[in-house]
Amino acid sequence: MLPLTAVVAAAAAAATSPDLAKYALTDTGSTGGGNTFPGVSRPLGMVKLGPDLYVGSDSYSGYQPTGNFTGFTMLHESGTGGAPKYGVVSQMPVVGKVENPLSDAINDTRAAPDHTEVGYYKARLGSGTVLELAASNKAGMYTYTFPKPNESAGFHVLVDVSHVLSSYRGQGLEQHYLGGNITVHEQGADGYYYTGFGTYDNGWNRAAPWTVYFCGRFDAPATYKTFLGVDKASDKLAEFATEPSYESSSARLGALFSFRQTTVVSRVGVSFISAEKACSNVDGEIPEGTSLRTVRRQTRDAWNSDVFSRVTTTSTNTTELNQLYSALYFMHLLPTNKTGENPLWDSTEPYYDDIFTFWDTVRRALSRGRGRSSEPVLTPTYHEELLRSMVDVWRHQGWVSDARSSFANGAVQGGSNADNVFADAFVKGVGGKLNWHDAFASMVKNAEAVPVNNDDARDPTGSTKEGRSALPDWLAHGFITPKFSRSVSRAVEYSVNDFCLATVAAGLGRLADFAKYFGRSRNWRNHWNPNMTALGFSGFLGPRDVGGFLEQDPLSCGGCYWRDHYYQALPWEYSFNAHHDIAHLVELCGGEERFVERLEMTFEPGVFAGNAPFGHTLFNPGNEPSFATPYLYNYVNRQHLAVKRSRAVAKSYYAPRPDGLPGNSDAGAMESWLLWNMLGLYPLTGQPVFLIGSPWFSDLTIDLGACMKLRVTTTGGAEDAFYVQSLRVNGAPWNKGWLTWQDIFARGGTLEFELGSEPANWTTGPPPPSLASLTSDEARNMLHDIAGLKEHRRACTAPPKTCPT
Ligand SMILES: *[C@@H]1O[C@H](CO)[C@@H](O)[C@H](O)[C@H]1NC(C)=O
Ligand SMILES: *[C@@H]1O[C@H](CO)[C@@H](O)[C@H](O)[C@H]1NC(C)=O
Ligand SMILES: *[C@@H]1O[C@H](CO)[C@@H](O)[C@H](O)[C@H]1NC(C)=O
Ligand SMILES: *[C@@H]1O[C@H](CO)[C@@H](O)[C@H](O)[C@H]1NC(C)=O
Ligand SMILES: *[C@@H]1O[C@H](CO)[C@@H](O)[C@H](O)[C@H]1NC(C)=O
Ligand SMILES: *[C@@H]1O[C@H](CO)[C@@H](O)[C@H](O)[C@H]1NC(C)=O
Ligand SMILES: *[C@@H]1O[C@H](CO)[C@@H](O)[C@H](O)[C@H]1NC(C)=O
Ligand SMILES: *[C@@H]1O[C@H](CO)[C@@H](O)[C@H](O)[C@H]1NC(C)=O
């Protein structure tokens, strides 16, 4: 029993934590290609319980606004593309006689649009059944209300262990069911519960077989029949009888539970360790007798206290509050915290999975090289655990990959962007118990060791599982020839990765390593082809052989896919992506004026047929390689243009609606871009630098933990008045278009913006640092200066238990 003081404290905390969850719209980005997951989940929760719908094309998060329900399953991703993953551990309600539980005819239509909110999901099925869902971290809860008039027809819940989200793209990336076990146990006088496991493989990351265990309980009397098919794929039945258990590595199997009452509650736990652990997960997190209302409220409370309450504003504009809290919501669905659930090795370290992918998320708060830089700011405990988990994966499996899901590395689209995530945490003083020497060793592995080719048909030239497969060229030539696919886009990313190694090396006092990787971080320059010309501009990153450059149109990336020179973005876009070396880029572009003109051309409507949804601009708001581009004006003291362009992007392509994302959420990367735009800052991944934009709110406070806060205020702002007139940082006037982590985050601080409708020339101070454009000594000194590297290590001590008021 809880001591009374704990109850009082909990009640007090609940009373003071406002219900910000009401602003988070959990269907944002669920249609129109956003692919977000609208079902139920705790922050970083292992269980994501939601519907799986069949429409004849890929359902990446299980959900579709149309189509038929085929099951309601416990594991999902959010905002991914490529090929669906998960959609396993299923229950499906059926009304009427069931002849063949493996038949495709077991699906149901939607009688009304689904209802979704933080912690709660409701679906009305064509059969008249109403289904409500709630979830804890490792368990989920289903409440079925069957249609009373159909009582004589029979009410059933089908548990099909072979259920998995399929892929229809024909790329060989579809998941497979590989066998399982179902065992039905007696529970009390006339009830049953079931345990078992299913084994699956493949998906976008081409995972080796992995197994999930489950434990499902019902609160109502039931009868049951188990079933066994004849093989992995067909719906032909071998057995359908009251057998207590089936196990098979070659056939589909499951159980059908039948009920007499109209309301049935089921609690289901999952585990990657054992069926016993799945039972203890559900019994521990959702004990018998818990109401759905309680689980729903607990989930809401968790989001409020762990995530939403960290960012508060006095604004009353509902649209903007919806955007703010929905963005925070989708940034904290993935990765998933599977601490204590890693079947591969024993460890006391945390374990995180479903990193999908750093290529995307690195850029979300960071820069180029998809990674996430918002986490160190908002949820430092989680970030530290994630980093420790990454190092633990390296310790036991040899590599920290750009992506990982279902306990398997892959797929690597560009560089080894875990490096960016490490460097970003390093310069921001996040780390706590992380062993930085091990972290650096894992980065060196990425930078020096050629991974074994995993024979992925998408890229025959090298491994897509982990590491940097184009290293042989990178090490031999300092550039990447077309012997390796995605040669140009990977060259820019490898440069950024190497810069990240240099940064951590500098902080760890490894001077030789610093010099080496600092030198390599400039290799992107070897791809600069001054003869590539488009729209009146010359000089772009181009493909090259040992003998020289190849012909390349700056406005084409061919198929822009795995086997092309550029992955998912144009040469024009990638040419802006060496964010650690912008001063040099400005020179290559012909000086500041030409650089500004080139940026302006990027946003010019009608110049590029390819980006139809975005007004035919070269800028693509829906893809990470374009993320930082609007903010690059700050490097040439045109801050007002950064505000103008980024504000227009945010207002035109983002909305708090199901179709309100400009593209795939990419595990929250898109939402993170919006969040930073709203805050008026843009974090450069792997650098201690934030480029300054223009905040949306008159007042916004970020709780940095350890009693520290960042307070951002604006005066004079309006829908048409967003240009910065002046800025005070921690009370003192500021004339630079950038800030460091030390300035406002390390100890908290204040930003006071004065906004107006006309641009003002206020950034008269030095431009943001372009570290790779300096000499290596200058760069190292500046890094120590602006990142306060030594000070950081000291700052990582335990925060006080209570904060002074
Ligand atoms: C959905 O179910 C209805 C009713 O059984 C059926 O007519 C329809 O073809 C199904 N749609 C799909 C996409 O399977
Ligand atoms: C759903 O069931 C109907 C029959 O009720 C069937 O015609 C249809 O093909 C099924 N849909 C799927 C996706 O299996
Ligand atoms: C459920 O009952 C309704 C109304 O009696 C009937 O039209 C419908 O066919 C029944 N459905 C099933 C699956 O028995
Ligand atoms: C299924 O797994 C359980 C637990 O490991 C085991 O007791 C049972 O024998 C298995 N069923 C079959 C048919 O092998
Ligand atoms: C609320 O915010 C939205 C989105 O930024 C904006 O379009 C709208 O004008 C704002 N409403 C008011 C009353 O300021
Ligand atoms: C991750 O999960 C573990 C085990 O359940 C828990 O102790 C830890 O607090 C979780 N981390 C976060 C950031 O919630
Ligand atoms: C650019 O083109 C000129 C004229 O054809 C040629 O002389 C020069 O070598 C080319 N430069 C590069 C870097 O290929
Ligand atoms: C901004 O002010 C500085 C210093 O007064 C001046 O040198 C610069 O030309 C001005 N820039 C613009 C774009 O007006």
What HEC string does 37-83 produce? CCCECCCCCCCCEEEEEECCCCCCCCCCCCCEEEEEEEECCCCCCCC
Instruction: Establish whether the linkage from the previous residue to 335 is cis, with ω within 30° of 0.
Output: yes
**What is the whole-number distance in angstroms between the Cα of residue 744 and the centre of ligand 5?**
28
Give the sheet arrangement for strand 130-135, strand by strand: 110-117, 120-125, 130-135, 139-145, 263-271, 207-218, 191-202, 176-187, 245-248
- Does ligand 2 lie within 6 Å of residue 55's CB atom? no
User: Is the minimum distance from the CB of 764 to ligand 8 under 6 angstroms?
Assistant: yes
Give me the residue spans of the domains in the chain.
4-306, 318-790
Closest CA to 467 of 563, 437, 484, 544: 484
Do residues 724 and 642 touch, judged by C-beta distance below 8 A?
no
What local confidence, expressed as pLDDT, does residue 380 receive?
Answer: 76
Q: What is the reported pLDDT for 366? A: 31
* Mean of all residue pLDDT scores within the chain: 93
What average pLDDT does this structure show over 522-541?
A: 98
pLDDT, tens digit (0-9, with 9 covering 90-100), for 347-402: 999 999 999 888 877 655 432 223 334 556 677 788 999 999 999 999 999 999 99
Predicted confidence band of residue 2 (pLDDT cuts 50, 70, 90): very low
Tokens at 724, concatenated: 């910065």
Q: Which ranges constitute the DSSP H helices of 761-800?
A: 776-787, 789-795
Q: Which atom of ligand 7 is nearest to the CA of 531?
A: 1
pLDDT in tens, 754-795: 999 999 999 999 999 999 999 999 999 999 988 876 655 544
Q: Which ligand 3 atom sits nearest the alpha carbon of residue 147?
A: 1
Q: Is 532 within 8 Å of 554 (Cβ atoms)? A: yes
Decide whether 4-306 matches 318-790 in CATH topology.
no
CA-to-CA dists, residue 616 to 601, 608, 643, angstroms: 11, 5, 21
The per-residue pLDDT for 791 is 56
Cβ(89)–Cβ(214) below 8 Å: yes
Tell whether the model's pLDDT for residue 235 goes beyond 90. Answer: yes
The alpha carbon torsion through 711, 713, 719, 722 (nearest 10 deg) reads: -100
Judged against a pLDDT cut of 50, whether residue 690 lies above it is answered with: yes
| Whole-number Å distance between alpha carbons of 707 and 714 | 23
- pLDDT recorded at residue 189: 79
Determine the angle formed by the axes of helices 776-787 and 487-507, rounding to 10 degrees: 70
Verdict on whether the full-model pTM lies above 0.85: yes
Q: What is the pLDDT of residue 324?
A: 98
pLDDT at 508: 94
Q: Which residue lies with its CA nearest to atom 12 of ligand 2? A: 104
User: Cα–Cα distances in Å, from 784 out to 424, 727, 747, 791?
Assistant: 14, 25, 17, 10
Confidence of residue 403 (pLDDT cuts 50, 70, 90): very high
Residue 472 CA neighbour count, 13 Å, CB half: 13
Query: Which CATH number is correct for 318-790, 3.30.2320, 2.60.98, 1.50.10, 1.20.81?
Result: 1.50.10
Q: What is the pLDDT of residues 170-182, one digit of tens each?
A: 999 999 999 999 9
Residues 164 and 268: beta-carbon distance below 8 Å: no
**Rounded mean pLDDT, 266-284:** 98
Sorting pLDDT into bands at 50, 70 and 90, what band is 338?
very high
> Dihedral angle at the C-alpha atoms of 739, 745, 746, 747, nearest 10 degrees?
110
Least confident of 46-50, 463-467, 697-701, 800-804: 800-804
* Residue whose tokens read 């010019």: 604
Q: Quick one: pLDDT at residue 381?
A: 85
Q: By alpha-carbon position, which residue is closest to atom 6 of ligand 8? A: 764
User: What is the mean pLDDT of the segment spanning 734-763?
Assistant: 96
DSSP state of 339: T
What distance in Å separates the CA atoms of residue 687 and residue 373, rounded to the nearest whole number? 10
Distance CA 690, CA 684 (A): 6
Is there an atom of ligand 8 within 6 Å of 633 CB? no
17 pLDDT above the threshold of 80: no
The average pLDDT across 431-452 equals 95
Which pLDDT belongs to residue 700?
A: 98
Could you write out the DSSP letters of every residue in 605-652?
TTS-TT-GGGTT-S--TTSGGGTTGGGGGGGGT-HHHHHHHHHHHHHH
Give, as one character, the DSSP assignment of residue 300. Answer: H
CA 339 to centroid of ligand 6, rounded, Å: 7
Q: State residue 26 phi and psi, 5-degree precision.
A: -80, 0
Ligand 3 touching residue 183 (CB < 6 A): no
If we measure between CA atoms, which residue out of 389, 28, 547, 549 comes closest to residue 538? 549
Residue in 652, 699, 644, 700 with CA at minimum distance from that of residue 674: 652
User: How confident is residue 653, by pLDDT bands cut at 50, 70 and 90?
Assistant: very high
Q: What's the pLDDT score for residue 374?
A: 53
Q: Looking at ligand 7, which residue's alpha carbon is closest to its atom 6?
A: 531
Q: Region 657-670: what's the mean pLDDT?
A: 95
Ligand nearest to the CA of 735: 8
Listing DSSP states for 665-701 in one string gives: -TTTHHHHHHHHHHHTEEE-TTSSEEEE---S-SEEE
Model pLDDT, residue 12: 40
Ligand at shortest distance from the CA of 151: 3
Task: Report the DSSP beta bridge partners of residue 75.
Answer: 88
Helix, strand, coil shares of the chain, percent, nearest 5, are: 30, 25, 45
Helix, coil or strand: residue 659:
coil
What's the pLDDT at 303? 97
CA–CA distances in Å: residue 371 to residues 241, 335, 786: 51, 12, 21
Q: Choose which CATH entry (2.70.98.10, 1.20.140.10, 3.40.50.150, 3.50.50.60) describes domain 4-306.
A: 2.70.98.10
Q: Please name the amino acid found at residue 673.
A: W
Distance CA 543, CA 537 (A): 18
- In SS3 terms, 346-412 reads as CCCCCCEECECCHHHHHHHCCCCCECCCHHHHHCHHHHHHHHHHHHHHHHHHCCCCCCEECCEECCC
Helical H segments across 307-344, by residue range = 318-331
